[in-house]
């Protein structure tokens, strides 16, 4: 068998968009979902790259996400704007609301986007990078499924609850971090399970509350928060702000609603956008120039900024293409030819 050749980012985007359209997702929504999946693959974030297609098709096949949903914007002229995903994917809902969030943040200095009732599977850096690309700082967060024990406990209750921050830079890539508040994303453990490799110590405990490096036992047990009580508190904050405060599911309710861990979760999400020029206006200082001083000083120590690895991977993928394994290419072929039947059973 010949080694697989790299595929260009655009070609992969066209394939993934076609797969979602072929599975009954309306074209705009298919394009939004494909963009974040291919961005994950392009940026070497495998836990939220093309491996997620299968998960998305499973929820489509189970009828638990509405591929035809058209997001509905709600704007009462306040700093808080809403988009109802109406049971569809989160990504088209975010795309539909981005211009409104941007405009409101410029008016008020700080605006919040509430995303309601969405199927959420993606990495969050995409949201905050979109805001940073428009000169806005951003925070994004959401619950997920109750896979994670609070620090000091042994029973899954919190989600892997991701948290992302973006800061625009006067030149070059924005400052962006994006991480699960569990030690690792659930997707990382699933990739270890598929590869038959142990997970690092300190990621999870088994169903009896004992530390484990066995991915199967970890998936059946409880994941741990990063930084002990600190990650646990941040994760709790995310449950409160993007679950309880929005009147949307927290992670335990999201799991109860779907009833199965192999289907991706439906819940809400919260995105905050800040216009630094509004905040700094009366100071007479340029917030981006001040930010540059800090970010340059970090880099001058030889410390790497978060997302640097990702931006390097992106540059390489855009110039040389993305190398997918033979198994990954075969799976894409199967999704193209079989559609939702590929995930039946």
| Tokens found for residue 154 | 């042994």
179 sits near ligand NDP (criterion: CB under 6 A): yes
Minimum separation from the CB atom of position 126 to ligand NDP (A): 9
Q: Please tell me whether residue 127 binds ligand NDP under the rule CB under 6 A.
A: no
Contact pattern from residue 9 through residue 48 relative to ligand NDP, giving x for each residue in contact according to CB under 6 A and a dash for the rest: ------------------------------------x-xx
Query: Which of 112, 123, 158, 324 forms a contact with ligand NDP (CB under 6 A)?
Result: 123
Query: Looking at 98-106, 157-165, 235-243, 282-290, which segment touches ligand NDP (CB under 6 A)?
Result: 157-165
The residue whose Cβ lies closest to ligand NDP is: 123
Among 61, 180, 224, 273, binds ligand NDP (CB under 6 A): 180
Pairing of strands 80-84, 110-119: parallel
C-beta of residue 94 within 8 angstroms of C-beta of residue 271: yes
Structural contact between residues 313 and 42, judged by C-beta atoms closer than 8 angstroms? yes
Q: Give me the residue label for tokens 């941040």.
A: 234
CB of 94 to ligand PYC, least distance (A): 15
Which residues of 120-261 form beta strands (DSSP E)? 137-141, 162-167, 175-180, 204-205, 211-212, 222-223
Binders of ligand PYC among 98-157, rule CB under 6 A? Answer: 121, 144
DSSP 150: P
Q: Does the annotation count 47 as an active-site position?
A: yes
Looking at the DSSP bridge assignments, the partners of residue 162 are 180
Interaction residues for ligand PYC, span 163-192 (CB under 6 A):
180, 185-187
Count, residues near ligand PYC per rule CB under 6 A: 9
Question: Hey, what are 308's tokens?
Answer: 């640097």
Nearest to 118 by CA among 18, 258, 261: 258
Partner residues linked to 116 by β-bridges: 84
- Measured at the CA of 297, the angle between CA 292 and CA 300, to 5 degrees, comes to 125
Q: Which residue ranges make up the site for ligand NDP (CB under 6 A)?
A: 45, 47-48, 120-125, 142, 144, 160, 162, 164, 177-180, 184-185, 188, 304, 306-310
Q: Which residue ranges make up the site for ligand PYC (CB under 6 A)?
A: 47, 121, 144, 160, 180, 185-187, 265
């Amino acid at each position: 068998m010949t080694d697989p050749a790299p595929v260009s980012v655009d070609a992969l985007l066209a394939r993934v968009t076609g797969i979602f359209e072929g599975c009954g997702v309306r074209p705009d929504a298919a394009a939004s979902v494909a963009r974040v999946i291919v961005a994950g693959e392009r940026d070497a974030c495998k836990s939220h790259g093309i491996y997620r297609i299968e998960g998305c098709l499973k929820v489509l096949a189970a009828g638990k996400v509405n591929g035809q949903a058209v997001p509905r914007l709600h704007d009462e002229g306040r700093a808080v704007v809403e988009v109802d995903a109406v049971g569809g994917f989160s990504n088209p809902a975010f795309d539909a609301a981005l211009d409104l969030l941007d405009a409101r943040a410029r008016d008020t200095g700080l605006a919040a986007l509430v995303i309601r009732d969405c199927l959420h599977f993606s990495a969050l850096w995409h949201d905050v990078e979109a805001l940073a690309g428009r000169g806005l700082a951003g925070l994004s967060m959401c619950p997920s499924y109750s896979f994670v024990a609070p620090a000091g406990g042994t029973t899954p209750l919190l989600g892997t609850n991701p948290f992302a921050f973006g800061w625009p830079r006067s030149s070059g890539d924005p400052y962006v971090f994006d991480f699960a508040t569990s030690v690792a994303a659930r997707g990382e453990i699933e990739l270890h399970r598929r590869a038959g490799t142990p997970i690092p110590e300190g990621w999870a405990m088994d169903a009896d509350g004992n530390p484990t490096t066995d991915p199967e036992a970890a998936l059946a047990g409880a994941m741990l928060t990063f930084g002990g009580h600190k990650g646990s508190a941040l994760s709790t904050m995310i449950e409160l702000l993007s679950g309880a405060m929005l009147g949307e599911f927290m992670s335990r309710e999201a799991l109860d609603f779907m009833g199965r861990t192999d289907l991706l979760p439906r819940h809400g999400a919260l995105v905050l956008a800040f216009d630094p020029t509004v905040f700094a206006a009366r100071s007479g200082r340029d917030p981006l120039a001040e930010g540059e001083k800090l970010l340059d000083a970090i880099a001058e120590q030889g410390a790497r900024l978060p997302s640097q690895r990702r931006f390097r991977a992106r540059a390489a993928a855009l110039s040389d293409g993305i190398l997918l394994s033979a198994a990954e290419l075969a799976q894409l072929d199967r999704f193209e030819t079989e559609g939702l039947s590929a995930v039946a059973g």
